[in-house]
Amino acid sequence: MGVSAAEIKLLREKTGAGIMDCKAALQASEGDVTKSIEFLRKKGLATATKKSSRATDEGSIGSYIHYGGKIGVLVEVNCETDFVARNPEFQNLVKDLSMQVAGSNPAPLYVRKEEVPADMIEHERAIFKAQAMESKKPEAVIEKIADGKINKFLKSICLMEQSFLKDPEITVSDLVAQTISKVGENIQVRRFVRFQLGEGEV
Protein backbone atom coordinates (compact mmCIF):
# COMPACT_ATOMS: atom_id res chain seq x y z
CA MET A 1 0.00 0.00 0.00
CA GLY A 2 1.26 3.46 -0.91
CA VAL A 3 1.30 6.20 1.70
CA SER A 4 1.50 9.94 1.16
CA ALA A 5 4.13 12.33 2.45
CA ALA A 6 1.38 14.15 4.39
CA GLU A 7 0.43 10.93 6.21
CA ILE A 8 4.07 10.25 7.08
CA LYS A 9 4.50 13.86 8.31
CA LEU A 10 1.40 13.57 10.52
CA LEU A 11 2.61 10.31 12.07
CA ARG A 12 6.08 11.75 12.65
CA GLU A 13 4.57 14.73 14.46
CA LYS A 14 2.54 12.41 16.69
CA THR A 15 5.32 9.93 17.50
CA GLY A 16 8.71 11.49 16.74
CA ALA A 17 9.65 8.30 14.86
CA GLY A 18 11.87 8.31 11.75
CA ILE A 19 10.51 8.71 8.21
CA MET A 20 11.12 5.09 7.17
CA ASP A 21 9.67 3.76 10.42
CA CYS A 22 6.53 5.87 9.93
CA LYS A 23 6.20 4.71 6.34
CA ALA A 24 6.55 1.05 7.34
CA ALA A 25 4.03 1.49 10.17
CA LEU A 26 1.45 3.08 7.87
CA GLN A 27 1.93 0.39 5.25
CA ALA A 28 1.59 -2.38 7.85
CA SER A 29 -1.52 -0.72 9.30
CA GLU A 30 -3.14 0.10 5.92
CA GLY A 31 -2.98 3.82 6.59
CA ASP A 32 -4.72 3.67 9.98
CA VAL A 33 -2.94 6.25 12.16
CA THR A 34 -4.07 4.76 15.49
CA LYS A 35 -2.86 1.29 14.48
CA SER A 36 0.36 2.82 13.14
CA ILE A 37 1.07 4.47 16.50
CA GLU A 38 0.51 1.12 18.22
CA PHE A 39 2.81 -0.55 15.66
CA LEU A 40 5.58 1.95 16.44
CA ARG A 41 5.08 1.58 20.20
CA LYS A 42 5.46 -2.19 19.94
CA LYS A 43 8.55 -1.82 17.75
CA GLY A 44 10.08 0.59 20.26
CA LEU A 45 9.44 -1.79 23.14
CA ALA A 46 10.90 -4.72 21.19
CA THR A 47 14.03 -2.69 20.38
CA ALA A 48 14.36 -1.65 24.01
CA THR A 49 14.06 -5.25 25.19
CA LYS A 50 16.86 -6.36 22.86
CA LYS A 51 19.20 -3.66 24.16
CA SER A 52 18.27 -3.87 27.86
CA SER A 53 21.21 -6.13 28.83
CA ARG A 54 23.90 -3.81 27.43
CA ALA A 55 26.01 -1.83 29.90
CA THR A 56 25.14 1.81 30.55
CA ASP A 57 28.17 3.60 31.99
CA GLU A 58 27.60 7.05 30.48
CA GLY A 59 24.67 9.44 30.64
CA SER A 60 23.56 12.64 32.25
CA ILE A 61 22.11 14.09 35.43
CA GLY A 62 19.20 16.39 34.71
CA SER A 63 17.73 19.02 37.01
CA TYR A 64 14.47 20.91 37.04
CA ILE A 65 13.13 23.63 39.33
CA HIS A 66 9.37 23.94 39.40
CA TYR A 67 6.65 26.12 40.86
CA GLY A 68 8.65 29.23 41.64
CA GLY A 69 11.53 27.40 43.26
CA LYS A 70 9.35 25.32 45.59
CA ILE A 71 10.05 21.93 43.96
CA GLY A 72 13.44 20.71 42.71
CA VAL A 73 14.37 17.47 40.98
CA LEU A 74 17.58 15.64 40.05
CA VAL A 75 17.40 12.63 37.72
CA GLU A 76 20.23 10.33 36.64
CA VAL A 77 19.73 8.69 33.24
CA ASN A 78 22.36 6.35 31.82
CA CYS A 79 23.25 5.30 28.27
CA GLU A 80 26.08 3.38 26.63
CA THR A 81 28.27 6.14 25.16
CA ASP A 82 29.17 9.76 25.77
CA PHE A 83 28.18 10.46 22.15
CA VAL A 84 24.55 9.54 22.86
CA ALA A 85 24.65 11.34 26.22
CA ARG A 86 25.16 14.57 24.24
CA ASN A 87 22.47 13.66 21.67
CA PRO A 88 19.49 16.09 21.67
CA GLU A 89 17.02 13.18 21.79
CA PHE A 90 18.68 11.85 24.94
CA GLN A 91 18.92 15.29 26.52
CA ASN A 92 15.23 15.90 25.81
CA LEU A 93 14.42 12.61 27.53
CA VAL A 94 16.39 13.63 30.63
CA LYS A 95 14.57 16.96 30.70
CA ASP A 96 11.17 15.32 30.24
CA LEU A 97 11.89 12.86 33.06
CA SER A 98 12.94 15.69 35.38
CA MET A 99 9.72 17.55 34.61
CA GLN A 100 7.70 14.35 35.06
CA VAL A 101 9.03 13.80 38.58
CA ALA A 102 8.46 17.47 39.47
CA GLY A 103 4.96 17.69 38.03
CA SER A 104 3.48 14.32 39.06
CA ASN A 105 0.82 14.24 41.73
CA PRO A 106 1.30 12.05 43.63
CA ALA A 107 5.04 12.23 43.16
CA PRO A 108 6.77 8.93 42.29
CA LEU A 109 8.70 7.19 45.05
CA TYR A 110 10.51 4.54 42.97
CA VAL A 111 11.89 4.26 39.44
CA ARG A 112 10.27 0.89 38.66
CA LYS A 113 7.81 -1.44 40.37
CA GLU A 114 10.46 -4.10 41.03
CA GLU A 115 11.99 -1.69 43.57
CA VAL A 116 8.85 -1.42 45.70
CA PRO A 117 9.32 -3.36 48.97
CA ALA A 118 7.15 -6.49 49.18
CA ASP A 119 5.94 -5.54 52.66
CA MET A 120 4.62 -2.22 51.34
CA ILE A 121 2.67 -4.00 48.62
CA GLU A 122 1.25 -6.51 51.09
CA HIS A 123 0.28 -3.72 53.49
CA GLU A 124 -1.60 -1.89 50.74
CA ARG A 125 -3.20 -5.13 49.51
CA ALA A 126 -4.52 -5.84 53.02
CA ILE A 127 -6.12 -2.39 53.14
CA PHE A 128 -7.66 -2.79 49.69
CA LYS A 129 -9.02 -6.24 50.57
CA ALA A 130 -10.55 -4.94 53.79
CA GLN A 131 -12.26 -2.16 51.84
CA ALA A 132 -13.54 -4.61 49.23
CA MET A 133 -14.84 -7.04 51.85
CA GLU A 134 -17.31 -4.43 53.05
CA SER A 135 -19.12 -4.87 49.72
CA LYS A 136 -19.91 -8.52 50.68
CA LYS A 137 -18.67 -9.72 47.30
CA PRO A 138 -17.28 -13.28 46.75
CA GLU A 139 -13.62 -13.88 47.70
CA ALA A 140 -12.54 -14.26 44.05
CA VAL A 141 -14.05 -10.87 43.20
CA ILE A 142 -12.42 -9.28 46.25
CA GLU A 143 -9.01 -10.60 45.10
CA LYS A 144 -9.54 -9.11 41.63
CA ILE A 145 -10.54 -5.77 43.12
CA ALA A 146 -7.43 -5.79 45.33
CA ASP A 147 -5.21 -6.72 42.35
CA GLY A 148 -6.66 -3.85 40.32
CA LYS A 149 -6.06 -1.36 43.11
CA ILE A 150 -2.50 -2.62 43.62
CA ASN A 151 -1.77 -2.07 39.92
CA LYS A 152 -3.18 1.45 40.16
CA PHE A 153 -1.12 2.06 43.32
CA LEU A 154 2.10 0.92 41.61
CA LYS A 155 1.38 3.15 38.61
CA SER A 156 1.06 6.13 40.93
CA ILE A 157 4.32 5.61 42.87
CA CYS A 158 6.62 4.16 40.15
CA LEU A 159 8.05 6.62 37.62
CA MET A 160 8.28 4.12 34.74
CA GLU A 161 4.63 3.06 35.19
CA GLN A 162 3.18 6.57 35.21
CA SER A 163 1.37 8.11 32.27
CA PHE A 164 3.68 10.60 30.57
CA LEU A 165 2.44 14.09 31.49
CA LYS A 166 3.03 15.51 28.00
CA ASP A 167 1.23 12.60 26.32
CA PRO A 168 -1.00 10.54 28.66
CA GLU A 169 -1.55 7.98 25.89
CA ILE A 170 1.89 6.52 26.66
CA THR A 171 3.74 5.62 29.85
CA VAL A 172 7.17 6.86 30.89
CA SER A 173 8.43 3.36 30.08
CA ASP A 174 7.07 3.78 26.53
CA LEU A 175 8.82 7.16 26.28
CA VAL A 176 12.17 5.62 27.25
CA ALA A 177 11.61 2.75 24.79
CA GLN A 178 10.89 5.23 21.98
CA THR A 179 14.13 7.09 22.74
CA ILE A 180 16.09 3.81 22.76
CA SER A 181 14.67 3.08 19.32
CA LYS A 182 15.74 6.52 18.06
CA VAL A 183 19.29 6.65 19.49
CA GLY A 184 20.12 2.94 19.10
CA GLU A 185 21.49 2.43 22.61
CA ASN A 186 20.29 0.99 25.89
CA ILE A 187 18.98 3.66 28.28
CA GLN A 188 18.35 3.17 31.98
CA VAL A 189 16.70 5.57 34.39
CA ARG A 190 18.98 5.02 37.37
CA ARG A 191 17.56 7.16 40.18
CA PHE A 192 15.96 10.44 41.08
CA VAL A 193 15.46 12.70 44.07
CA ARG A 194 12.67 15.21 44.54
CA PHE A 195 12.79 18.08 47.01
CA GLN A 196 9.74 20.07 48.05
CA LEU A 197 10.08 23.23 50.09
CA GLY A 198 9.03 22.73 53.70
CA GLU A 199 8.95 18.92 53.45
CA GLY A 200 11.43 16.09 53.84
CA GLU A 201 12.77 14.07 50.91
CA VAL A 202 9.94 12.73 48.75
How does DSSP classify residue 71? Answer: E
CA dist 156 and 52 (Å) reads 24
DSSP 113-180: GGGS-HHHHHHHHHHHHHHHHTTT--HHHHHHHHHHHHHHHHHHHBGGGSEETTEEEEEHHHHHHHHH
CA dist 83 and 77 (Å) reads 14
CA dist 89 and 132 (Å) reads 45
Lowest mean pLDDT among 48-52, 104-108, 186-190: 48-52
Give the residues across from 73 on adjacent strands: 64, 194
How does DSSP classify residue 190? Answer: E
Residue 9 and residue 33 in one domain = yes
Give the residues across from 196 on adjacent strands: 71
Residue 107 and residue 171 in one domain = yes
Domain annotation covers residue 137: yes
Residue 23 and residue 42 in one domain = yes
CA dist 138 and 1 (Å) reads 52
Residue 136 and residue 68 in one domain = no
Q: What is residue 161's predicted lDDT score, i.e. its pLDDT?
A: 93
> In which domain, by residue range, is 90 found?
58-111+158-196
Q: Tens digits of per-residue pLDDT, 15-68?
A: 666 677 788 888 888 888 888 877 877 766 545 555 555 656 789 999 999 878
Model confidence pTM above 0.75: no
